[in-house]
């Protein structure tokens, strides 16, 4: 069996669920199996990281919203919270936390509920936030909010579970595999979250009226609700 076929089967069986889970992302990687480097384990990890990190999700949507409303510099604390929160989650999973999530599946439901509550609250704040061109009176989401959110973000937790269970061999080369996964995860988070922030900042150029800004914020708010819905689909 080729590497990508083994990967497909491993990821599908690593965790229960559908959209934000292994089967969804395994299908995406499997369709890219003819890429030249897709038979190498590390390359598969990178490809998987690209498919998951750059796809729309709560972190990327928050980053785009903040980049649009506050600019890149003021969004740095938010981005650092995501980057270091996600990296810490990977480290904890690789250190043994994954066993708890695999053994007690009901924890996935608890994380979904907590994550959903946070995102619904954030969606409400975004939708009904005041609109002005200077935004001097408003503050973006801070470091600690996004850092802590990584531990109740259903998409992030499940992806971390898949990555650790699939790409880290606890019997052989555990330290090497763990280091590779953590480094790839860190840089994927840096590139993806900053890219979405820059996208939001770029779109700000087209904000010629308060009505445009409000429509953009409504769209971001709606996409966060879509994320919540997809947790349960």
pLDDT at 80: 96
Greater confidence (69 vs 210) lies with 69
In angstroms, what CA-CA distances link 124 with 3, 31, 89, 152?
44, 37, 27, 18
What's the domain range around 207?
3-231
Rounded CA-CA distance 38/179 in Å is: 20
Q: What is the pLDDT of residues 26-41, one digit of tens each?
A: 554 444 444 433 345 5
CA distance 116 to 191: 25
- Residue whose entry in the numeric block shows the structure tokens 């480094």: 183
Q: Rounded to an integer, what distance in angstroms lies between the CA atom of residue 147 and that of residue 138?
A: 20
pLDDT-derived band at 159 (thresholds 50, 70, 90) equals: confident
- CB of 186 closer than 8 Å to CB of 127: no
Tell me the pLDDT tens digit for each residue of 82-125. 999 999 999 998 888 777 877 777 887 888 888 889 999 989 88
Domain count, the chain: 1
């Amino acid at each position: 069996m080729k590497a990508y076929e083994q990967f497909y089967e491993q990821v599908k069986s690593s965790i229960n669920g559908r959209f934000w889970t292994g089967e969804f992302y395994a299908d995406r990687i499997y369709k890219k199996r003819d890429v030249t480097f897709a038979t190498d384990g590390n390359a598969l990890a990178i490809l998987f990281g690209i498919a998951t990190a750059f796809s729309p999700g709560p972190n990327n949507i928050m980053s785009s919203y903040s980049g649009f409303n506050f600019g890149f510099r003021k969004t740095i604390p938010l981005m650092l919270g995501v980057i270091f929160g996600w990296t810490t989650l990977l480290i904890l999973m690789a250190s043994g936390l994954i066993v708890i999530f695999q053994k007690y599946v009901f924890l996935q439901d608890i994380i979904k509920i907590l994550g959903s509550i946070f995102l619904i609250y954030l969606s409400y704040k975004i939708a009904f936030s005041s609109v002005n061109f200077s935004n001097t009176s408003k503050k973006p989401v801070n470091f600690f909010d996004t850092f802590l959110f990584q531990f109740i973000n259903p998409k992030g937790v499940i992806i971390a579970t898949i990555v650790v269970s699939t790409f880290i061999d606890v019997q052989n080369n555990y330290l090497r595999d763990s280091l590779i996964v953590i480094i790839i995860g860190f840089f994927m988070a840096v590139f993806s979250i900053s890219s979405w922030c820059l996208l939001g900042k770029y779109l700000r150029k087209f904000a010629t009226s308060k009505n445009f800004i409000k429509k953009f914020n409504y769209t971001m708010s709606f996409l966060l609700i879509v994320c919540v819905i997809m947790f349960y689909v």
